[in-house]
Amino acid sequence: MTADINDLRAQAENPADLLPILEASIVEFESGMVFIKHPFVNELYFGPALHARYNAQFEYKQKATAKARADRQWHAVVFITERPWRFERLLDIADEMTDAEFWELVSDVWQDSENIRENQDQWDDLLRTDRPGREHMMTDVERAALDRLPDRITVYQGHTDERDDGWSWTTDEATARFFARRFADFESATGIVTEAVVNKSDVTAYLMGRSEFEILIDPELVGDFVKADVL
């Protein structure tokens, strides 16, 4: 512990120079908060005393990514990257993967993402691509669960009066209501739960990994809504 404290004191007294690539990634927001916004370092910027830590994190992730890519460990390549840039990394390595590897990773990135709407057009293009192997977005358990659903599936979507939620629906109404309230609070908008009936043959994937019973389906294939409830 004493050694760690001494190291911190030494860094504060004799700070390292921040790597130029990280220096160029410093962003100050209107709130006054300052961040380093880089695919390998996405943190609050606390000044020169932590330059050595920021540099070390960048260098570690840069080396780890290069090794993972050389070893064809695609999941590691993407998930070493900070979350806001994982979709971009997925697209960067898409041509290096087999079809099965690609679609498995698409599923993982989709379920991990917190900024789908920031890349909505690209997600639309990706999910509509004719690349084979799309069934690998689902595990064996998820494929079996989809097979057990009826040919016409009742689905729900929690959204607001400001926007819908695109491809993401659920077979569980309570889950849709949870997201409608969450989005409404976040956006200071009115929460809405929309119910629709879709063809199982049109479903892109049925994802159960987060216990959200998520149905992915192209919005253009949803058709007419049955009803919409305002919360």
Q: What's the confidence (pLDDT) of residue 5?
A: 39
Q: Give the confidence band of 51 by pLDDT, cuts at 50, 70, 90.
A: very high
| Nearest one of 183, 36, 228, 205 to 123, comparing CA atoms | 205
Same domain, 186 and 199: yes
pLDDT tens figures, 166-223? 899 999 999 999 999 998 888 888 999 999 999 999 999 999 988 899 999 999 999 7
Rg (the chain; Cα; Å): 22
Q: Which of 84, 110, 134 is the last residue of a domain?
A: 134
Tell whether 149 is covered by a domain: yes
Domain that holds residue 50: 2-55
Distance CA(52)–CA(11), nearest Å, equals 7
pLDDT tens figures, 19-29? 999 999 999 99
Domain tally, the chain: 3
| Residue 82 reports pLDDT greater than 90 | yes
Tell whether 66 is covered by a domain: no
Q: What's the confidence (pLDDT) of residue 3?
A: 46
DSSP category for residue 218: -
| Model pTM score | 0.87
Cα torsion 51, 52, 53, 55: sign:
positive
